[in-house]
Structure 1
Amino acid sequence: DNIGSLIELTHYKKSEYKKGVPDTTDALLVSCLPGSSVYVESFGFWKGNFSLEKYNENSSMWELVRTQDGNHSQNYNFTEKNEEEYIVRYRVTSTEFDTTIWSGENEKQTGYVTLQSFGNDYSGIIKITEYISGKKVKGKVLRTIGSTDATQIWAFSPWSRSKGYPTAAGFFEDRLVFAGSTRYPQTFWSSKVGDYYNFGTSTPVVDDDAVTATLNGGQMNGIKAMVAFGELILLTSGGEYKVSGGQGKALTPSNTLSQAQEYRGISDVLPVTVGSRIVFAQQQGNIIRDLAYSYEADKYTGDDLNLLCSHLFDGHKVVAMTYQQTPDSIIWFVRDDGLLLGLTYIKEQDIYAWHKHSIKNARFVNVCCIPGGECDELYAVIERNGQYENVMLEKRNDNDVPEEQIYVDDGITVRGSDIKEVTGLTWLEGETVAILADGNALPQQKVEGGKVTLSEKHGYSVVHVGLPIDAVIKTLPIEFQMQDGSSISRKKRIGNLSVLFKNTRGGLYGLSEEKLDEIKWRDTEAYGQPTKLFTGKKKIVLPAAGWDETQQLIIKQDAPLPMTVLAIVPEIVPGG
């Protein structure tokens, strides 16, 4: 099970000291630990030069660090720091180091050079590549080991095939952070500052070293997601925690502070951020919550967002979610039965509006949002007839040109002159489709032989064909307060209603889905011209209105045309 995992071996590496007369060979050679230094000093009488070189492991060549010239009795010393993350070999060489100027005198004054490195604990890393026996494996050296001697100071990496790998990742204070492996579900690991591939520490520890810490919760709840604000928010299966350096300080190995905020728990679905708020599915996947810092409570807290629409989650849970910031600030959720739920979420205006969406003969599998030129583009994976497809859900068409309205699913637009039929509809074979031709809604047809016939006599210029989409608004039961109490238990009648529309045409209305009347739109348009899109207030009479204790208004759009309802004002007649 250790194949592919890393093992760290720690040895004490002794100081090294070399003394001699340098020449073109590497007689004066020492190894220097990472972060440590080599000290070079010359003594006695000599003239010429000597050079300090270091060995480059990547190019397998010696590189010049510094050259020192000398003349007679002048002595020199300097220090060179090893900035690498591994042991580096240094040597002193010379092309001319003349000591004969002291010939025949006191030999103790003959010139020489010393090269010294300093000892300390050092850890090398090996990746295990092959299993041989219970006491022997083969490996590849990833970071030079200090010695091949046996050592009692060693450690396996926290991630491996048997221990599992992190379930969450992100960035915080210029550190790369991983969290929540199988063996260590409440632990997080952060890299050095600005060095995302380096999770090492120094001796002694410094502030920009890597940080490894474990949440100090009362239960073993694995970390599933992280979000970086002023603090690092870690979301676990049983609660929400904030991690920081405390009192506005940066996170360091010596001041890591984790504090529990709430004990709600998060599901396996990744959360989304909306401004300064986190929106996530609670552990069971059937409750949606938000989380943000509260000055009143002095902690991160939030609300239940589906409290008023819990029927959308009865017996179901969320399996995917994404956030579409523009144009309408909508959080999209995929339910486990393939239904797409939307939450229009504008916290500043206290707007939490839920809506559900479906595709004919298909189910949603996953969704994601990608920034586009005009707005965030919503993409989805759907399953239709056992096949998976990638689709993009287009934004609403905001213009008021009837011919350019596209409100069909899986559709196609054909442009030309004198178009009397649309062919090539092989993917819609056998389906009943909606048709909008030059801004006029034609009767729905069944696709046969990959085509539909528009007209045998009259041709069109712009034709949209696709699966029909039914959009329905159904109000809550209409109630109001009367002088002698609530109207909830009294009969009432709705004879008229005023509806404020924007760029709308088509649609039905009524009090029961079994009996809906068509909204009349045509006004002063010339014969043969499509009815214009309507913007404004329209008064509608309910011919089948009756007396009932529960009254709910229904507005339905069954045509391939736009409808935007801005307000509904019913005229209510109370009864006994």
Structure 2
Amino acid sequence: MHRHRLGGGFAGSEWAIVESAVVTPGQNGADDVWLFVKRSLGGVTKRTIEIMTAPFEYGGLDDAFQVDCGLTYLGAAVNAISGLDHLDGESVDVLAGGKVYKGLPVAAGQVTLPGGAVASKWQVGLGYRCEANTLELDVGGRDGSIVGRRKKIAKVMLSLLETDMSGLEVQSSLRGRWEKVRMPSIVAPDGRASLFTGNVEVPIDDSWEGQGRVKIRHVNPTPCTIRAFTPVFDAEP
């Protein structure tokens, strides 16, 4: 079990507070998780009823709903949408027309795309950051466990499924530099996000004192699924 940190905050907390939750049978074979959430929005305490979306698999990027306390717009291509009164005074993340827009302000229930951009489908809401921290490595010892022995990661191999790599980063647990996950052969036209399935190699600036621990985060309102994580490392004999 792990903590799910929802977008928004309350009373100095960096994330929203779930006051109640219930699970009901869904219509597509997956259960529906309903949450009663408390946040400070625009300086006012507000409560919303939200439903968690099912994990994203093999869909169109425009259908990916990866925000909290958000709404979907589908219609004519427009530069601004309204109906976001519950998020007045907040900054939201937007996935519109396959492009990512972060930190857009909501005023009078309306949000506008920069540069005169237009889109016919929007996913807009509070952004959140997905994070994972690996445990100390304990594989590859010639005489058994390598727990407690110094080790250093040179690179990691990630097996990804339908993932927007523009928001995916990896970091040594001791070094402060986040390494972006890139595939030079994949070019997103017109700045649009693209989804990648396959394996990617990421070099890491690690330290011998880090015990082979790695941090992973995804910061965009787009899909990210990591199927496997394989480190390449050296360890004390």
What is the TM-score with the length of structure 1 in the denominator? 0.36
Kindly provide the CA deviation profile for residues 348-389 of structure 1, in whole angstroms up to 9, marking residues without a partner as x: xxxxxx221122223112211111211221112222344443
Aligned with 1:528: secondary structure?
helix
Q: Shift of the alpha carbon at 1:522? A: 6.0
The AA in structure 2 aligned to 1:546 is S
- Could you tell me which of 95, 118, 123 is aligned with 1:436? 95
Q: Please, which of 441, 449, 455 is the counterpart of residue 114 of structure 2?
A: 455
Q: Is the 8 A contact 2:24 2:33 kept in 1?
A: yes
Tell me the equivalent position of 1:366. 20
Query: Following the alignment from structure 1 to structure 2, what is the Cα–Cα distance between the partners of residues 384 and 458?
Result: 30
- Please tell me whether residue 405 in structure 1 is matched to residue 64 in structure 2: yes
Do structure 1's residue 535 and structure 2's residue 231 form an aligned pair?
A: no
Taking structure 1 as reference, are residues 381 and 558 closer, same or farther at Cα in structure 2, changes over 3 Å only?
same
CA distance in 2, matches of 1:549, 1:428: 41
Residues 21-40 of structure 1: pairs in structure 2 closer than 5 A: none
After superposition, give the CA deviation of every residue in 1:258-291 in whole Å (9 maximum; x if it has no partner).
Answer: xxxxxxxxxxxxxxxxxxxxxxxxxxxxxxxxxx
- Residues 172-187 of structure 1: pairs in structure 2 closer than 5 A: none
- The correspondence of residues 408-423 of structure 1 with structure 2, limited to 5 A, is 408-423=67-82
The answer on 1:355 being equivalent to 2:14 is no
Q: 8 Å contact 1:495–1:545 — kept in the other structure? A: yes
Name 2:38's counterpart in structure 1.
383
Q: Tell me which amino acid in the other structure corresponds to 2:26.
A: G
Q: Check whether the contact 1:421–1:455 (CA below 8 A) recurs between aligned residues.
A: no
Cα distance, 1:409 vs. partner? 0.3
Structure-1 separation of matches of 2:114 and 2:47: 34
Relative distance call for 1:549 and 1:397 in structure 2 (3 A) is: closer
Does the 8 A contact of 1:409 with 1:467 survive in 2?
Answer: yes
Whether the 8 Å CA contact 1:418–1:458 is kept in 2: the answer is no
1:533–1:527 distance in 2 versus 1, CA, 3 Å:
closer
Q: CA deviation at 1:391?
A: 2.1
Tell me what 1:516 maps to.
178
Which structure is higher in RCO with an 8 Å CA cutoff and minimum separation 6? 2
SS at match of 2:62: helix
| Secondary structure of the corresponding residue to residue 206 of structure 2 | coil
Conserved in 1, the CA contact under 8 Å of 2:151 and 2:212? Answer: yes
Check whether the contact 1:491–1:575 (CA below 8 A) recurs between aligned residues: yes
Structure 2, unaligned runs of 5 or more: 10-15
Q: Residue 449 of structure 1: SS of its match in structure 2? A: coil
SS at structure 2 position matched to 1:356: coil
Larger Rg over CA atoms: 1
CA change 1:570–1:481 in 2 (3 A) is closer
Q: Is the 8 A contact 1:497 1:540 kept in 2?
A: yes
Q: For residue 510 of structure 1, report the CA deviation from its aligned partner.
A: 1.0
In 2: Cα distance, 1:521 partner to 1:481 partner: 28
Deviation at residue 489 of structure 1 after TM alignment: 3.1
Q: 1:418 to 1:523 in 2, by over 3 A?
A: farther
Deviation at 1:529, TM superposition (A): 6.4
Q: Give the partner amino acid of 1:355.
A: H
Q: Report if aligned partners of 1:405, 1:439 keep a CA contact under 8 Å in 2.
A: no
Task: State the distance in 2 between where 1:496 and 1:393 align.
Answer: 34
- Ranges of 4+ aligned residues in structure 1 off by more than 6 Å: none
- Checking the alignment, whether the CA contact within 8 Å between 1:420 and 1:456 is kept in structure 2 is no
Kept in 2, the 8 Å contact 1:364–1:380? The answer is yes
In structure 2, the CA distance between the partners of 1:388 and 1:440, relative to structure 1 (3 Å rule), is closer
CA-CA distance at 1:540 after TM superposition: 1.2
Kindly state the Cα deviation for residue 571 of structure 1 after the two structures are TM-superposed: 0.3
* Percent identity for Structure 1 against Structure 2: 24
Separation in structure 2 between the aligned mates of residue 575 and residue 461 of structure 1, nearest angstrom: 56
Q: For residues 439-492 of structure 1, give each alpha carbon's deviation from its aligned partner in whole angstroms, at most 9, with x where no partner exists.
A: 221232232333222123332222211001211111111133533564333322
Q: CA deviation at 1:557?
A: 1.0
> Which digits, 9 at most, give the CA deviation of each residue in 1:293-329, with x for residues without a partner?
xxxxxxxxxxxxxxxxxxxxxxxxxxxxxxxxxxxxx
- What's the CA shift string for 1:526-554, capped at 9, x where partnerless? 63263431111111111x22222522111
Gaps of 5+ in 1: 1-353
- Cα displacement (A) at 1:417: 3.7
Question: Following superposition of structure 1 onto structure 2, how do residues 468-483 of structure 1 map, counting pairs within 5 Å?
Answer: 468-480=127-139, 482-483=141-142
Under a length normalisation based on structure 2, what TM-score does the superposition of the two structures give? 0.83
Give the Cα–Cα distance (whole angstroms) in 2 for the partners of residues 425 and 521 of structure 1: 36
CA, structure 1 residues 451+523, in 2 after alignment: closer, same or farther (shift >3 Å)? farther
User: Which residue in the other structure is 2:214 paired with?
Assistant: 553
Q: CA deviation at 1:498?
A: 0.7
CA separation in 1, counterparts of 2:106 and 2:183? 29
Q: How far apart in 1 are the matches of 2:84 and 2:48?
A: 17
Q: Distance in 2 between matches of 1:527 and 1:551?
A: 37
Partner of 2:224: 563
Greater strand fraction, Structure 1 or Structure 2: 1
Q: In structure 1, what residue type is equivalent to 2:75? A: G
Question: Do the aligned partners of residues 486 and 377 (structure 1) sit closer, same or farther apart at CA in structure 2, a change above 3 Å counting?
Answer: closer
Distance 1:514 1:408 in 2: 27
Distance 1:461 1:431, change over 3 A: same
Aligned residue among 100, 119, 123 for 1:464? 123
Asked whether the equivalents of residues 499 and 537 of structure 1 are also in contact (C-alpha less than 8 Å), the reply is yes
Name the amino acid aligned to 1:452: V
SS at match of 1:547: coil
SS in structure 2 opposite 1:365?
strand
- How many residues of Structure 1 are paired with residues of Structure 2 in the alignment? 222
Structure 2 counterpart SS, 1:427:
helix
* C-alpha contact (below 8 Å) 2:161/2:198 kept by paired residues: yes
